[in-house]
Amino acid sequence: MPAEESKKMLGETMLKMSKMDDPDQIVKNAIMEHMTEHLEMADYNAMIMLAEKCGEMETADKLRETLSEEEEMADKTMDGLKEAMENFSMKKGIEQSEE
């Protein structure tokens, strides 16, 4: 492979790696993941209300089970967000306030 092509490929790889380690992007991804779980929880809550309104209690119970899984995922995505913010703070040199 010609040196110029190798150099270009190395540059592209380095750019991809720097983006993967971009603390801003990691935080944005963590926020999106957490937001998605809460959006799903809102959807399931709305469907539960509708099922109850229609007297579909068995359906409402099944939806509650899924809602519970979404709540567990939201806890996990919150852990991911906390970890992303720790990483972000460390890379940006932000230290814990003494107050």
Q: How far is the CB of 48 from Fe ion (least distance, A)?
A: 15
Q: For Fe ion, give the closer residue by CB, 73 or 85.
A: 73
Contacts of 12 (CB under 8 A, 6+ apart): none
Q: For Fe ion, give the closer residue by CB, 37 or 60.
A: 37
- Inter-residue contact 44 to 60 (CB < 8 Å): no
Q: How far is the CB of 96 from Fe ion (least distance, A)?
A: 32
Residues at the site binding Fe ion, with contacts judged by CB under 5 A: 37, 40, 70, 73
From first CA to last CA, the distance across the chain in angstroms is: 58
Q: For Fe ion, give the closer residue by CB, 37 or 84.
A: 37
- Inter-residue contact 27 to 80 (CB < 8 Å): no
Q: How far is the CB of 69 from Fe ion (least distance, A)?
A: 7
